[in-house]
Every structure is written in structure tokens, then in C-alpha cells.
């Protein structure tokens, strides 16, 4: 479970990004964090990454208290429980698709046979197994996004944090990316997606929507 309890955080410019915010995201839930003006979703993302201390309040992520920010070995251990997809859909350009997916296991004590099994299963779910030997640098935008999501989720983190990496996708590709995230969520992995795109919010209207209006939570539902 993710718990925000009366959390406040200032933006880099000194203004208040979020003020006295409280919400919960339950284990196995798919949540979408959006905003109507302001930088609140970015503030929430930074807090969940565990490196940014809250100005006040408590931030608990699956039992880890990250309210004061983490450093060193504590941060390393925490990040092994969190998968992250950045807005640029980061991948290792000089590696193949398969090597990218196997990369997270290099820092985890998981037997090679089990790691190989998980990698193959993850690539099947992503639709990338036939492309496992292709260089990541040769992938198009959609395949690159799927690879980034696959790599971030292959070790089955407690939560997958996904920034809006949908720029340039066609309508059907966007639907495919959202369906892929929902398939990962169906495996019991909590997913927190940060997006303001109405097309994305419309596809996820039945999921948990946490919408900010400026620095505060919006109480009225969005109309689609």
C-alpha cells in the first residue's frame, strides 16, 4: 500500500507543489495521477522515487518510510522494490532487447534458471520475444516503450511508476500500451501512471483516478 498522510512539498521555484495531501493506493491497484494546472503529479512522482524529502507529512510505500528521503544502501534496497518508466522510455541503446530485459537481474540474487524463465515470460507478455535479439537502438517508439515497461516490471516490483511516455504513439499503439500496463497490473503489481492526456484518462476511466487541481486534490470527478 502507498500512503500519503498530510503531505506537503514545495516546487523547485519555492512555491507549494502539494499542500496537506492525503490519499492511499492499495496493493494491486491501478492508479492514475493527473492534474489541472500545477506541478503536483511531478511532486508525487519525486516523493515516490524515495530521494526527495517531504516538507511535512508521511509518505509510506509498501512499508518503507520515504518521508525524509533515502540515501546510499537504503535507497538502493528501496529501488529494488520499485519499477520506473521515465517519459523518454529509457533503454540501453547498446544492448539487444533480451539483454535489456535481463539487465535488472544483474543486481539481484535470483538463480539464472528462474531469471531466464521470468525474462521469457515478460517478453511474451510484452510481445517482444520475437525481437529479443534485435538491438534496442533499432526499435520504433512503440516497441521502445514496451521494452522500457518490460524491463521495469520483469523483477515483479511492488509498484510500477510510469511517467507519460506516450508522445508520438498512434491511437491503436496507445491502446496497446495501456492494455499492456493493465496486464501487468493483473499479475498483482500495483501501477501508478502519471498522465494528463485525455485519451489515456478515457481509456482508464474505470481505474483509480487521483486528480489534482493546482496544489490540492480535486473532489469532483472528471467528465469524459
- 124-139 residue pLDDT tens: 999 999 999 999 999 9
Residue 144 lies inside a defined structural domain of this protein: yes
Cα 182 to its chain centre, rounded Å, is: 12
Per-residue pLDDT for 220 more than 90? no
Residue 177 lies inside a defined structural domain of this protein: yes
Rounded to 5°, angle at Cα 90 from 80 and 88:
125
C-beta of residue 89 within 8 angstroms of C-beta of residue 148: yes
Question: What are the two backbone dihedrals, phi and then psi, of residue 174, each rounded to the nearest 5 degrees?
Answer: -60, -45
Per-residue pLDDT for 224 more than 60? no
pLDDT-based confidence at residue 216 (cuts at 50, 70, 90): confident
Cα–Cα nearest to 48, from 11, 88, 75: 75
Residue 146 sits in a domain of what CATH number?
3.40.50.300
Per-residue pLDDT for 210 more than 70? yes
Per-residue pLDDT for 7 more than 60? yes
Residue 224 lies inside a defined structural domain of this protein: no
Q: How far is CA 98 from CA 59, 119, 136, 154, 165, in A?
A: 35, 8, 9, 11, 21
Compute the average pLDDT of residues 28-36. Answer: 91
Using the structure block, give the residue that is written with the C-alpha cell 492511499.
24
Residue 222 lies inside a defined structural domain of this protein: no
Residue 43 lies inside a defined structural domain of this protein: yes
pLDDT value at residue 84: 97
How do strand 2-10 and strand 56-61 relate by DSSP bridges? antiparallel
pLDDT value at residue 110: 82
Compute the average pLDDT of residues 190-207. Answer: 91
Give the total number of structural domains in the chain: 1
pLDDT-based confidence at residue 111 (cuts at 50, 70, 90): confident
Residue 207 lies inside a defined structural domain of this protein: yes
Provide the percentage of residues in the chain whose pLDDT is more than 90: 75
Question: What are the two backbone dihedrals, phi and then psi, of residue 18, each rounded to the nearest 5 degrees?
Answer: -135, 150
**CA–CA separation, 68 and 63 (whole Å):** 14
Residue 223 lies inside a defined structural domain of this protein: no
The per-residue pLDDT of the chain, averaged, comes to 92
Per-residue pLDDT for 13 more than 80? no
User: Coil, helix or strand for 120?
Assistant: helix
pLDDT, tens digit, 9 for 90 and up, residues 43-102: 999 999 999 999 999 999 999 999 999 999 999 999 999 999 999 999 999 999 999 999
Within the chain, where are the H helices?
40-48, 72-79, 97-102, 112-126, 141-153, 171-185, 198-203
Print the domain residue range for 26.
2-217
Residue 84 lies inside a defined structural domain of this protein: yes
Whole-model pTM?
0.93
**CA–CA separation, 75 and 207 (whole Å):** 30
Amino acid at each position: 500500500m502507498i500512503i500519503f498522510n498530510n503531505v506537503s512539498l514545495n516546487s523547485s521555484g519555492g512555491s507549494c507543489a502539494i499542500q496537506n495531501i492525503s490519499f492511499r493506493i492499495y496493493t494491486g491497484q491501478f492508479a492514475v495521477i493527473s492534474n489541472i494546472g500545477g506541478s503536483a503529479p511531478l511532486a508525487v512522482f519525486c516523493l515516490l522515487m524515495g530521494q526527495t524529502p517531504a516538507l511535512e507529512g508521511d509518505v509510506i510505500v509498501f512499508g518503507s518510510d520515504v518521508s525524509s528521503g533515502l540515501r546510499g544502501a537504503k535507497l538502493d534496497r528501496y529501488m529494488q522494490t520499485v519499477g520506473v518508466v521515465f517519459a523518454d522510455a529509457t533503454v540501453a541503446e547498446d544492448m539487444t532487447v533480451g539483454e535489456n530485459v535481463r539487465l535488472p537481474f544483474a543486481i539481484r540474487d535470483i538463480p539464472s534458471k528462474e531469471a531466464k524463465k521470468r525474462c521469457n515470460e515478460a517478453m511474451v507478455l510484452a510481445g517482444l520475444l520475437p525481437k529479443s535479439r534485435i538491438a534496442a537502438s533499432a526499435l520504433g517508439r512503440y516497441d521502445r516503450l514496451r521494452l522500457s515497461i518490460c524491463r521495469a516490471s520483469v523483477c515483479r516490483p511492488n509498484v510500477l511508476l510510469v511517467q507519460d511516455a506516450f508522445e508520438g504513439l498512434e491511437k491503436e499503439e496507445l491502446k496497446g500500451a495501456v492494455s499492456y500496463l493493465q496486464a501487468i497490473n493483473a499479475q498483482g503489481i500495483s501501477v501508478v501512471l502519471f498522465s494528463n492526456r485525455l485519451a489515456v484518462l478515457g481509456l482508464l476511466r474505470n481505474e483509480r483516478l487521483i486528480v489534482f487541481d493546482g496544489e490540492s486534490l480535486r473532489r469532483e470527478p472528471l467528465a469524459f
